[in-house]
Amino acid sequence: MSVVEDPARSIQLTDDGDLRHFLTLDGLDRTMLTRILDTADSFIEVGARRIKNVPLLRGSTVVNLFFESSTRTRSTFELAAKRLSADVLNLDIGTSATAKGESLSDTLLNLEAMASDMFVVRHSRSGAAHFIASQVTPGVAIINAGDGRHSHPTQAMLDMLTIRQHKGGFEGLKVAIVGDILHSRVARAQIRALNTLGVEEVRVIAPDTLLPTDVESLGCRVDDSMQSGLADVDVIIMLRLQRERMEGALLPSEREFYRVYGLSNEKLAWAHPEAIVMHPGPINRGVEIESAVADGPQSVILDQVTNGIAIRMAVMSMAMGGQRATAWNRTGEGSS
């Protein structure tokens, strides 16, 4: 019997099983996700040094190709690339040739002609990173920094790293994801990662208008009540209300959303006493979460920011040279 190869796996991995691109968590198994987390762990201490860089990507050129604005994500990718000693080019799409009528394919060809080695791509269209990966010449790596409603794999992985740091692992954990599931590429990636890494249960909590029709097929339990949804959970992930992506009157008001689904200390008490609170940012205080919770002792939101740099260092170094990243993970040597 012939085996049908998973296209999401085949486009992302080399024949040896190393990362070629990092486009989605679909097709990546628990071993690969754990490898990414372990590699990121080895980079955490780099940020605490006086000289905060290692030479893994020295001589390489990374292009931040952001068709959709995101200061936080682009900044962390830029910092991650520089800590790996790469040269970084931030392409301003608003004034680039694509805005003047040049096709995306022609723009990519011109960037490749400048000896670019990696494109970090953010785009409002789902599947944009996959399209670019299918167009570039072999040897150019593509990292998905968020595409439409499809996926945001590095955000999901930094969340997984944060959970593992605070909970020690994933088995037996109950995780609740709260908010605008419908428009969230982050939620889809988180659900995939959590199930792949072996948590006991993933719950999504949202009004019907902010849930995709096939949400249960993603591998989660749906709940429209905060009290029952948060009962005894170990991790609470609050999502940003995607104002810019919302179409139509999906909510009566932000005030009503906060009253029912916003995370306050009162609602937090329904979770496990040692539950951690997460948010991918930027936070809309008083809409998704109250300040007392966001700044409180159970919040690990700032840890997520720190871990974002380490995760992006990990996937960039692995995609640009699995052997170099593996060697660094084993020895921690090679700092400049």
Q: For the segment 7-18, what is each residue's pLDDT rounded down to a tens digit?
A: 667 789 988 899
Q: How far is CA 23 from the centre of its chain?
A: 10
Task: Tell whether 72 is in a known binding site.
Answer: yes
Question: What is the model's pLDDT at position 335?
Answer: 44
Task: Tell whether 74 is in a known binding site.
Answer: no
Report the candidate in 242, 243, 230, 321 with the shortest Cα–Cα distance to residue 277: 230
Ramachandran class of 77: left when φ > 0, alpha when ψ lies in -120 to 50, beta otherwise? alpha
Q: Which of 98-112, 165-179, 292-306 has the lowest mean pLDDT?
A: 98-112
Q: What is the mean pLDDT of residues 251-271?
A: 90
pLDDT by residue (tens digit) across 164-218? 999 999 999 999 999 999 888 899 999 999 999 999 999 999 998 899 888 888 8
Question: What is the model's pLDDT at position 126?
Answer: 81
Task: Tell whether 20 is in a known binding site.
Answer: no
Per-residue buried b or exposed e for 250-267, using 16+ beta carbons within 10 Å of the residue's own CB: bbeeeeebbeebbbeeeb
Task: Tell whether 21 is in a known binding site.
Answer: no
Residue type, 296: G
Q: In which element (H, E) is residue 122 found?
A: strand 118-123
Task: Tell whether 281 is in a known binding site.
Answer: yes
Task: Specify whether the CB–CB gap between 121 and 279 falls below 8 A.
Answer: no
Task: Tell whether 240 is in a known binding site.
Answer: yes
Task: Tell whether 185 is in a known binding site.
Answer: yes
Residue type, 297: P
Q: Is the peptide bond before 282 cis (omega within 30 degrees of 0)?
A: yes
Long-range pairs for 253-258 at CB < 8 Å and ≥24 separation?
254/284, 254/287, 257/207, 257/287, 258/286, 258/287, 258/288
Question: What is the model's pLDDT at position 323?
Answer: 36
Task: Tell whether 273 is in a known binding site.
Answer: no
Residues 310 and 43: their CA atoms lie apart, in Å, by 5
Task: Tell whether 221 is in a known binding site.
Answer: no
Burial of 122 (0-12, 13-18, 19+ CB in 10 A): buried
User: Which is higher by pLDDT, 88 or 139?
Assistant: 88
Q: Can you list the domains of the chain with their CATH numbers?
A: 7-152+306-331 (3.40.50.1370), 153-301 (3.40.50.1370)
Question: What is the model's pLDDT at position 1?
Answer: 36
Task: Tell whether 71 is in a known binding site.
Answer: no
Classified as helix, coil or strand, 289 is strand
Facing residues of 106 across strands? none
